[in-house]
Amino acid sequence: MKRTISLPRLQEVVRARVCAHCERLTPGGNDVPLDQARDCEHECGLFESLPNLRTLAVNLDPVVGHLDRAARAACGPVVETRNGRRVMATLRELTGR
């Protein structure tokens, strides 16, 4: 069953699951509440791709397209990194894909 998720909620979950373990997290980043942006997000291609990835996960018809292929086409190789794979797994879990 397809479920929707808001962008702010997705950002919070990604901050908890992915950003918390990222080597590029700015010092003190884990001390910031999950609903607030980290300083490093503005330079993170993966985090900047979240709106597009969320839109794909929520709207892509699985009969027409495959989420991982569509994400690679829309956002490039950033989704193939270790953290990119974590984000994609999170999206699949949250949206029921």
Helices (H), 1-97: 7-17, 45-48, 50-59, 67-75, 82-95
pLDDT at 29: 85
This prediction's pTM: 0.87
Q: Per-residue b/e over 36-72, b at no fewer than 16 CB within 10 Å?
A: eebeebeebebbebbeebbebbbebeeeeeebbebbb
Give how far the C-alpha of residue 18 lies from the chain's centroid of Cα atoms, to the nearest Å: 8
pLDDT at 64: 75
Residues of the chain with pLDDT under 50: none
